[in-house]
Amino acid sequence: MKIALGASVAANLFLIGLIGGQVFAGSDEEVKRAKARQGYSLHPRVMMEALPKERHDDLRAFYADARKGMGQKWRGINALRRDIDAALRAEPFDIEAFSAAQAGETGARTTLRNQNNDQIAAFLATLTHDERTVIADLALARLEEQTKYWRERRAKREAEGNDTNRP
């Protein structure tokens, strides 16, 4: 009796999961759009997908180390964004103060991006030529998917007469 009850519970949970997955899953268009946003990327998820499982621990360890201290840096950028907000709300509006606040935030983000690029380059230097090639192949395939998606989307809008000069 207990075995039959356990099997019934397992079957019900399976069916609930299957139905719930269908209900909460995005439409095909949403999935295509999400993939199209990725483009050419050397994000850790792309590297994980490209590299064999035996390299995943190395990748996780590298990025865990690379992320240290990032929270504090992003809090600094958020403070700069508050400066932008204050300049935007100022009366009278001072365009030079607003532009300076924007430039400060952009510069800080650029610094973080350059640090991230340096970290990625350092990790990629630890890989073999074949591993780097596999990552590049996947990143390029994603870029081609993105380009195809946006071209198809634009053609569809043009065919419907809804072209608003978006990508």
pLDDT tens for residues 72-118?
888 888 999 999 999 999 999 999 999 999 999 999 999 988 988 89
Q: Which pLDDT score, from 0 to 100, does residue 99 have? A: 95
Averaged pLDDT, 41-55: 86
How much is the pLDDT for 30? 65
Instruction: Give yes or no for residue 10 having a pLDDT over 80.
Output: no
CA 128 – CA 50 distance, rounded (Å):
13
Check whether 23 has a pLDDT greater than 70. Answer: no
* Position 54 pLDDT exceeds 60: yes
Specify the pLDDT at position 18.
67
Percent of the chain whose predicted confidence (pLDDT) is above 70: 84
Residues whose CB falls within 8 Å of the CB of residue 144, separated by 6 or more in sequence, listed in order: none
Q: What element of type H or E holds 145? A: helix 129-160
Closest-CA residue to 46 (of 129, 167, 147, 131):
131
Average pLDDT over the chain, rounded to an integer: 83
Q: In the block, which residue shows the tokens 């365009």?
A: 95
Q: What pLDDT sits at residue 39?
A: 64
pLDDT at 6 over 60: yes
